[in-house]
Chain A
Amino acid sequence: MSYLELDNVTKIYPNGTKAVNETSLSISEGELMVFVGPSGCGKSTLLRMIAGLEDITGGEIKLDNRVINKVDPSERDVAMVFQNYALYPHMNVYKNLAYGLKNKGESKEEIEKKVNEVAELLEIKEFLLRKPGQLSGGQRQRVAMGRAIVRNPKAFLFDEPLSNLDAKLRGQVRIEIKKLQKQMGVTSVFVTHDQVEAMTLGDRLAVINEGVIEQVGSPIEVYEKPATYFVAEFIGTPQMNFINGKIHANKFISDEFECSINKDVKDQEVIFGIRPENLKVSANGSIKIKVDLIEKLGADSIIYGYDKSNNYLCYRENGNTKIKVNEEISLEIEDENYHLFDQETKKRLN
């Protein structure tokens, strides 16, 4: 059941920038959809069109079975959490939360009840009489969340609401947002360029590149079966390794190594992709690299090196590795976990 639906939505800014290009997407009720993509790919623009803060150049947006293209933002009943929170500086926290309810014409008692409930939920009760200027970044973030929650809107829209928090707090708030969202069951769109955030938060991800959605799917789907070269490259740290080569008689052939393909792919130029954790050291492995750099992260070690044709490859090993810099190691592909992309269209082949 689609609740929020984008149908061939296009945005061209007055200066001619085409920020969103014929994008279609359907989000079901209660789902948390994450828009993820590099800076400038049009995530915010898409979100702001849903909110009504940008005009829609082409296409249609439907919310709860109603076309909202021409509906004023104040009447869409969506709530947005901004990156810089956009709290009302001259109102105290209580009034910040109450303002939307007041505009809806709710009674004083009702407003008080709702604000107190939300304040309790978010543990901001003790700040209710403070102005935003007297709060820490994390507390402000909570107030911004509270302002969205208290109205119980049809949809939550988040535009990178965690990017101003320190790493530890970000992790905590992320979990909290996920819980709250599930608890309230409000359809949500969360914009981020941080893939860890995207992977952990989203029921589904929409990976966006240059105004086009490259893939929509659950985090695991997107990770395990990236639909395009861009998605493969964008999702996952350290990045997937790529080797250019060609397919001949169901075999992948590059200067470095060959490997038979388990699926019928016609002969063509391809990009062969393999994630660092899908490699393993093996005495007769076909990929040989000279180690250039080792990052020891505690739980695992990341080893970088050049192969003969000067591809910079990366390999991940659990624990504290014994491999040394400048050592030559041979790697092989584990469990046929590789990805093939067409060199022309950059689309997935296997």
Chain B
Amino acid sequence: MSRIFRITVSHSILICGVLLMIVPLWLVFASSTHSNSFIYNEGMQWKIGGEFFDNYDRVLNRKGGFTKEITASGIFYNSFIMAFGIASLSVFVSMMAAYSLVYFKTRFSTLFFWLIFVTLLVPLELRILPSYQIVSDLNLLNSYAGLILPLSASAIATFFFRQYYRSIPEELLEAAKLDGANSWKFFIDFLVPLSKTMIAAMFIFMFVYGYNQYLWPLIMTTSEKYWTVVMGLKMIYGGNSVDRYTYVILSLIPPVIIIVFLQRLFIQGLFQSK
């Protein structure tokens, strides 16, 4: 009796949570399949309409912006490259940083760690002018490298990797050393496979972080060819038309792909390591 009660309660809570996530999404999706004028007159819709292909085809392929150089698919591509670059680079850099902090016991490694950690207090938005200056001096304005590099060192990810490495027993390193592994081999053969889960989690986290960037791409791209998702939403699809719903739905696809793909690895890792 009480067990049934408990299950009912917990399931209702879970269902509420799911609805909270799904309902707005559905509302946007359903609205995105109606004609412009219908939405304009009637507001958002719960039911699917008949304009799905027309709307999605139009948004994906119509040239937008002021110079008509970019389509929504181009924008998604830009953001995907940017987010993917930031995620891969920051995972790589953080792993290396954490590795050196934990395993090469230099005298100041704790100090270095805190210095890295303190950069959390200085997000890109605060140092946007010097960052712009540097990127511009390096001739990286209007390039993928310029979009990616300033965001590719993550104190948070370094922190998580450091904590994880510290939990790996010292004997593992010692046994590997006696088995003839040098520092590089230990990293590749041990730390990378052991932190698969952490890598997947950090990758997702950093991908979403990169995908959501607005101010930095806004400031450093003058060419519309390099516009990114959030900019596009503001610049092209910010108007009161059905296209913005379509755009929002489409913009969800890249991160969803990443999450779906990596979640398998993530869960796999969870079951393997313990």
Chain A: residues with CB nearer than 8 A to chain B?
A: 51-53, 72-76, 78-80, 82, 84, 86-90, 99-100, 103-104, 131, 133, 147, 151
Contacts and interface: CB of A to CB of B under 8 A. Distances in A.
A88 B190 contact: yes
User: Which 9 interchain pairs have the tightest Cβ spacing?
Assistant: A103-B180, A86-B171, A100-B179, A86-B175, A73-B177, A74-B180, A90-B193, A82-B171, A53-B174
Given A84-B169, A88-B190, A99 B177 contact: no
A100 B180 contact: yes
Interface stretch (B78-86, B181-189, B200-208, B220-228): B181-189
Contacts of B177: 52-53, 72-74
A47 to B, nearest CB: 11
B273 interface: yes
B6 interface: no
Contacts of A147: 175, 179
Given A84-B171, A88-B176, A89-B194, A99 B189 contact: yes
Nearest to B185: A103
A188 B178 CA distance: 15
A51 B273 contact: no
Most buried by B among A51, A75, A88: A88
A31 B168 CA distance: 34
> What is the interface of chain B mostly: helix, strand, loop, or mixed?
helix
B37 interface: no
B194 A133 contact: no
A88 B182 contact: no
A151 B178 CA distance: 11
B69 to A, nearest CB: 48
A78 B178 contact: yes
A88 B178 contact: no
Contacts of B172: 86, 88-89
Contact of A90 (B178, B181, B185, B194): B194
Nearest to A48: B174
B172 to A, nearest CB: 6
Given A74-B182, A86-B172, A103-B180, 20 more contacts: A53-B174, A53-B177, A73-B174, A74-B181, A76-B178, A82-B175, A86-B171, A86-B174, A86-B175, A87-B175, A88-B175, A89-B194, A90-B272, A90-B273, A99-B181, A103-B179, A103-B181, A133-B274, A147-B175, A151-B179
B178 A80 contact: yes
Nearest to A98: B179
B180 A80 contact: no
Nearest to A105: B180
A87 B171 CA distance: 9
Given A80-B174, A90-B272, A99 B169 contact: no
Given A99-B189, A103-B185, A147-B179, A89 B273 contact: yes
Nearest to A81: B175
Most buried by A among B169, B176, B178: B178
A227 to B, nearest CB: 33
A78 B175 CA distance: 11
Contacts of A73: 174, 177-178
A133 B273 CA distance: 8
A118 to B, nearest CB: 14
A103 B194 CA distance: 19
Most buried by B among A51, A53, A84: A53
B242 to A, nearest CB: 50
Contacts of B179: 74, 99-100, 103, 147, 151
B139 to A, nearest CB: 43
A74 B178 contact: yes
Contacts of A99: 176, 179, 181, 189
Interface string B73-102: 000000000000000000000000000000
B125 to A, nearest CB: 39
A88 B272 CA distance: 13
B55 to A, nearest CB: 48
Contacts of B180: 74-75, 100, 103-104
